[in-house]
Amino acid sequence: MKFVAVASAAISTILFATPLAEAHVTANPSAAVSGSYFQTSFRVPHGCDGNATNLVIVEIPKGVSSVKPRPLYPWNTTISMVPLDTPITTPTGTINTTVGSITWSNGLIQDNMYEDFGLQFKLPTQEGPLYWKVYQHCVNNEWNNWTSVPDANGKTDGFPAAVITLSNSTTTTGPGGASPSASSKPSAAVAAFQSLNFGRVALISSGAFLVALI
Ligand SMILES: *[C@@H]1O[C@H](CO)[C@@H](O)[C@H](O)[C@H]1NC(C)=O
Ligand SMILES: *[C@@H]1O[C@H](CO)[C@@H](O)[C@H](O)[C@H]1NC(C)=O
Ligand SMILES: *[C@@H]1O[C@H](CO)[C@@H](O)[C@H](O)[C@H]1NC(C)=O
Ligand SMILES: *[C@@H]1O[C@H](CO)[C@@H](O)[C@H](O)[C@H]1NC(C)=O
Ligand SMILES: *[C@@H]1O[C@H](CO)[C@@H](O)[C@H](O)[C@H]1NC(C)=O
């Protein structure tokens, strides 16, 4: 009985955690292999007190490199550089800056709509949660700053930062790797099947990206 209870709790978490989490800004997918090239999107699920969103800033955590945003019509996509703590020496010179943040401006997401802001990048070789601060600005001049990182008790304020969970194991990219969207709630079996396939697509595309780089 104990096993059944634990199993059903785990299944409930898998099935229901995603729709609840989507009240906040989230990374989709959010499970990644440590040190890998990864593509994800930061989802802005609603506006500010009913007002539309017109500016989104994603701050790049330290250790994340090779950052490229996906341009999103009609938004203006701006890449801001910051100095590197430790400049990198290459045969063609010294690299002393890195991408510090990406700003999408001059767009509009009505409160009853959502949008995904895409990024590809190389992850650092570490394990566990990597927090991404996302700043959302709305037409009423209000900010929703999704910057809160859990304290020792796992508590955040009302605006938790987005999180990508890094693991050395390639098998964890599956179910957490791509969650079915809240708008299309498929059956449990379909959801599990889709998750597996999305995981595979993510692995294949990150593999292809590596090949492209080499
Ligand atoms: C916009 O936000 C303000 C509070 O800043 C609120 O009073 C107003 O009702 C909101 N407008 C809409 C259209 O929701
Ligand atoms: C986007 O940014 C460019 C460069 O800063 C600027 O010239 C252009 O006017 C901007 N477009 C909009 C729609 O703001
Ligand atoms: C960074 O490197 C450029 C040339 O690659 C150089 O002109 C600039 O002074 C450097 N900046 C710092 C802060 O070292
Ligand atoms: C949210 O972030 C923006 C941009 O950094 C800042 O200007 C604003 O003061 C912040 N607002 C709050 C309530 O923290
Ligand atoms: C994960 O990989 C890193 C870097 O390769 C290594 O230092 C670390 O010990 C690994 N962790 C586990 C649990 O294997």
Rounded to 5 degrees, what angle do the CA atoms 6, 168, 61 make?
A: 100
What amino acid is encoded at 176 in this protein? G
The answer to whether 149 and 129 are in contact (CB under 8 A) is no
Residue 185 pLDDT exceeds 60: no
CA of 140 to the centre of ligand 2 (A): 22
The reply to whether ligand 1 has any atom less than 6 angstroms from the CB of 143 is no
What six digits make up the tokens of 99?
């991408």
The residue nearest atom 12 of ligand 5, judged by CA position, is: 168
Four-residue CA torsion sign, 60, 64, 66, 71: negative
What amino acid is encoded at 39 in this protein? Q
Nearest ligand atom owner, CA of 141:
1
Per CATH, which fold does 19-172 belong to? Immunoglobulin-like (2.60.40)
The residue nearest atom 13 of ligand 4, judged by CA position, is: 143
Atom number of ligand 4 nearest to Cα 57: 4
pLDDT by residue (tens digit) across 100-152?
Answer: 999 999 999 999 999 999 999 999 999 999 999 999 999 999 999 999 999 99
Nearest-Å Rg of the Cα atoms of the chain is 18
pTM: 0.74
Atom number of ligand 3 nearest to Cα 94: 5
The reply to whether ligand 2 has any atom less than 6 angstroms from the CB of 106 is yes
pLDDT at 171: 65
Mean pLDDT confidence for 32-44: 98
The reply to whether ligand 1 has any atom less than 6 angstroms from the CB of 142 is yes
pLDDT at 81: 97
Does residue 211 sit in helix, strand or coil? helix
CA of 61 to the centre of ligand 2 (A): 26
Of 59-73, 132-146, 161-175, where does mean pLDDT reach its minimum? Answer: 161-175
Q: CA–CA distance from 186 to each of 31, 193, 194, 202 (Å)?
A: 21, 10, 9, 20
pLDDT at 111: 97
Q: Which residues, 6 or more positions from 64, have their beta carbon under 8 angstroms from its beta carbon?
A: 121, 122, 123, 124, 130
